[in-house]
Structure 1
């Protein structure tokens, strides 16, 4: 953190405690996934990035390429790439009922093609290109026997190298317990780098598992340049009042940690399905109001949309495209985590 902003923020005890997430250091309770959830937080103004607003009013105004006022960090967690056989059979039956020969043929072929339709990376990139956008794809690199092992990353080395060669980022989606195990993080990082054939510097943990400040320390020591796990699973918003990338501060050591956090603002299953369960219009209005606030503060709006929610002709895909169109109209820099991390390397707060 720039000394000037560090001192200003530290002079505001409530904001400083919120920024550092002091209440998360020794919580009485954590949820069943060992996470600190929003419903246990004493800070209730989750939709207001109050720390970023204070910094902005104090003179912190980051700049972005081509005169863009704010940025959007697009991200995808790749939890699944295979559709299960029962699901394939359902779609065959559906196309038979509709007497749609073309759809029937396509679905019949999918029985033999285990990568359809969840291995939809090229389609996602094509959608994003329409809005001048690119994104980060975070892949699991688990081994057989690990919780939620659903694919072998080596089976997809051609796919992930294709993503990289199109100029987008491939990052690591850490397994369930990696967030608290340095050796596990390093093991999964190496496995993904072996498949990709190049260095991996971006990270998000599966199920948004995170422990403050330990996870940041593990990731920094493992050689990651940035993390983008830091958001609540049970509510969208600004977990520590920040809508700007920042260097985390460790209250145990009284030192900044050598990693950038690009805080997560909105996740698909949080806003639409598993937690908040908002209807389409309410969710869209909330997301747009958050984007408007981030734009006012020259911040970064981070969106997590799983590949499983980006299949054709679904409400989730329409929602995603509406967000992209809205941000594009607001003249946002819509890009991946790697680009944001590199661009803001010297402007941390």
Structure 2
């Protein structure tokens, strides 16, 4: 066990030390403000305060972990070997940066509480983030810093054995609508027919009616492929189904249709199933509660995982609502059009509510790549290169790679051509030795 001496034990300090030491490095951690307890401890230990006590392992602390609320913090990002960091703390410290303060800034999403420009859907944009502006969005910096901390500790405590972690994957399948043509009802099918006709999309018109008359397979129905792929890997897929009401933003299938309920139950026999919460439920806790209850009625079990439609988050309200409804995990933390690490980590972390200064039980599981982001590259070769680069970043820190694909991604034609091969690369990456 690692013992940390500090002048003041705060919720922020306990939160970030437990993430880095326990979740990332697998080492238990405890805290003391008593020098005699620190001296008596016979295993690895360090001091985290303003001045070192003697020759112990010492990291000079930044004020952010001892403050409350938001303040105007000066961030000066600097290069540090193979990565970047901030909160430089001088030469007397065992590490040149206060990685705990910097990690707290990233994990708490401190910057998302500050005034910023948002996109047309009201989402925090990657281009507004510290990671994008300073060129480290592509790296899981919190995990990289943690491993630098581990190396520094090993030099001072060579006899201590750290547990070993392995790279793993958690593929997400997002299902805004399971079918392109089936189960849409008469009015929506008629509306789609008129649109296809007046836009001269006669091939789409032909496919629509071939599907409706049972002559062709619905192109969005890729669930047999998904189940077959699930059978080939030990890592459980997480499939998010949309069951909310039809709206300007969400155009799914009515959950009252028995065939749709049967599909969800069938997928739940092989994969883990979660709720894709509707666009308007981001701000409406009662609507979110209704959708959660509907999904639990389908699954006959408590809902454990969610992600919001359009990957939209309103911090801290969105996460507070999930905590209130006792949802255990959320998979919305990431960017739709940019590949990288929104919270700087590829290790799931607990949501810390900056307004109330409390660690919550909600596990935030960030995703690092969405299929749409790969559409920015033209050739399949370039897509493979980008994909392998992000996989390597996660592998270097034995993290968890979370990609988001959609059910229609696997139609493997048009702009989604080659995406089955990309998905296979992800599955194969978990079977290779690090």
Interval of TM-score (by shorter of Structure 1 and Structure 2): 0.7 to 0.9
Within 1, Cα distance between the matches of 2:329 and 2:378? 30
**Other-structure match for 1:289:** 389
Partner in structure 2 of residue 309 of structure 1: 409
Task: Give the match for residue 189 of structure 2.
Answer: none
Alignment of 1:161-310 (within 5 A): 161-166=265-270, 168-272=271-375, 276-310=376-410
SS at match of 2:171: strand
Q: 1:30 pairs with 118, 137, 149, which one?
A: 118
Q: 2:158 matched to 1:73?
A: no
Give the structure 2 partner of residue 334 of structure 1. Answer: none
- Higher helix proportion (structure 1 or 2): 1
- Determine the C-alpha separation between the residues in 2 that align with 1:209 and 1:223: 19
Of 127, 130, 140, the residue aligned with 2:229 is: 127
Aligned match of 2:253: 151
In structure 2, C-alpha distance between the alignment counterparts of 1:115 and 1:227, rounded to whole Å: 33
- How many angstroms does 1:116 deviate by? 2.0
Tell me if the contact between 2:177 and 2:242 (Cα under 8 Å) persists in the aligned partners.
no
Cα 1:111/1:286, change in 2 over 3 Å: same
CA distance in 2, matches of 1:278, 1:40: 25
TM-score, length of structure 2 as denominator length = 0.65
Q: Deviations over 1:185-224 (max 9, x none)?
A: 1111111122222221101111100122222211111111
2: CA distance, partners of 1:144 / 1:285: 38
The alpha-carbon distance between structure 1 residues 122 and 89, as it changes in their structure 2 partners (threshold 3 A), is farther
RMSD: 2.9
| Deviation (angstroms), 1:28 | 3.0
Distance 1:249 1:81 in 2: 34
Partner of 2:147: 56
- Report the CA distance shift for 1:200/1:32 in structure 2 as closer, same or farther (over 3 A): same
| Structure 2 CA distance for aligned equivalents of residues 71 and 157 of structure 1 | 31
The 5 Å alignment of 1:96-107 reads: none
User: Contact 1:174/1:188 (CA < 8 Å) preserved in 2?
Assistant: yes
Higher relative contact order (CA 8 A, sep 6+): 1
Which blocks of at least 5 consecutive residues in structure 1 are unaligned? Answer: 95-106, 332-349
**d(CA) in 2 for partners of 1:317, 1:239:** 25
8 Å CA contact retained: 2:177, 2:251: no
Q: Distance in 2 between matches of 1:62 and 1:294?
A: 18
Which of the pair has more CA radius of gyration? 2
CA distance in 1, matches of 2:333, 2:345: 10
Q: CA deviation at 1:92?
A: 8.2
User: 2:154: which partner in 1?
Assistant: none
TM-score (norm 1): 0.79
**Counterparts of 2:204 and 2:236, CA distance in 1:** 30
Report deviation, 1:329: 2.5
How many angstroms apart in 1 are the aligned matches of 2:400 and 2:125?
22
User: Alignment partner of 1:83: what SS?
Assistant: coil
Native 8 Å contact 1:291 1:301 kept in 2:
yes
SS of structure 2 residue aligned to 1:123: helix
